[in-house]
Amino acid sequence: MPADLARLSRRTVLGSSLALAACDRFAAAEPAPGPEPGPLKSLAPCPFGTTGMTGQLDQLFWVEQTLRHASQLTPEWELKMERTLGADFTHDFSAADRVVDFAHGNGLRVHGHTLIWYSQGAETFNASVPPARFKAEFDRYIAAAVGRYRGRMVGWDVVNEPVSEDGSGLRDCHWSEALGVEGYMVRAFQQARLADPDAILFLNEYNLENIPAKGTTFLKLVERLLKLGAPIGGIGTQSHLNIEIPAGNITNFFRDAASLGLPIHVSELDFSLKRDGGHLPDLRSSTEKRAQQVARVGELAEAFMALPERQRYAFTTWGLRDSDSWLLRTEGKNNPDDSPLLLDAQGRANPAYQAVVDAFT
């Protein structure tokens, strides 16, 4: 989940024209709820993922729906530093253990989220820590987290959201101040590789489709980090979609990202009906909003399917049902009437479900 949702130009005229034509046909999709949906994991040509938290493990319907639809699980909160990092650099992975054990006990593969994030860890990793200890504890944390689940995580979001909101550059944070704006990223990837040589290591970011300049900055960063020796194994695009972005944005980003040859993870997909920020009233009808939603989600699924098979790491929604979404929760965006996922609270298909299935099949 991003701290704020509002957060390679090799395009050709022909490619953009085809993208516009392909994407906008979804806008005519019927916005009525669908029937009992087929299992997404059986329809997807790659692992289909969702998120899980310890509180959900005791909810029988959540368990039933997750095992019906998902083949991969991402701990939504349990591996973030606000949960795992204590005072004086103590570590507590007990909550993450529960989610990982649940997943493996039910035949799901697990994706680790997240190791180094600009928005977390500053309370402990602060300016009062001597440089030598800062580096040592940085390395020790990554070794502890990744090493604990060595062989049990198929991949990790090693660095999360390093690009500035508008895509004009990279974020300044406690990590960059101590280790350098690119240095902390290279170090994190190298330490993660030492801790688990077989896990696929991802650079993960949001708004790559929504803001083309940010997508360009991100892909240039990947190229630069690789040259600096960071063992980046994959690209994570969170895909918290703004359903009002122009047709073609998503297709163009995926085409540019694919040119790097790395596996791509749609890592945190959701698609709010709400217009984030701004002061003008939202005069769109519910039918119009659903049509926009279906159009953009359909474009995303088709752009993902256009990737070579070896580059389709996984397709993950950030929550499985609307009622699971951080956008509805009081500690999230607190929009209880939003509908940002493929399934409704009862596990029935939302309109975008069919667009995804059509692209997959």
Distance of CA 213 to the CA centre of its chain: 19
Is residue 76 part of the annotated active site? The answer reads no
From 161, 205, 209, 302, the catalytic residue: 161
* 3-state secondary structure (DSSP) of residue 245: coil
Q: Which pair of structure tokens corresponds to residue 310?
A: 């070896």
φ and ψ at residue 104, rounded to 5 degrees: -65, -35
The CA-atom distances, in angstroms, between 290 and each of 163, 279, 293, 299, 329 are 30, 22, 5, 14, 21
- Would you give the DSSP letter of residue 152? T
Could you give the CA distance from residue 175 to residue 25 in angstroms, rounded to a whole number? 44
- Residue 161 known to be catalytic: yes
Pick the catalytic residue from 76, 78, 205, 268: 268
Scanning the structure block, which residue is given the tokens 């289909």?
48
Q: Provide the pairing of β-strand 155-160 with 200-205.
A: parallel
Residue owning tokens 């989600």: 297
Q: Which sequence positions are flagged as catalytic?
A: 161, 268
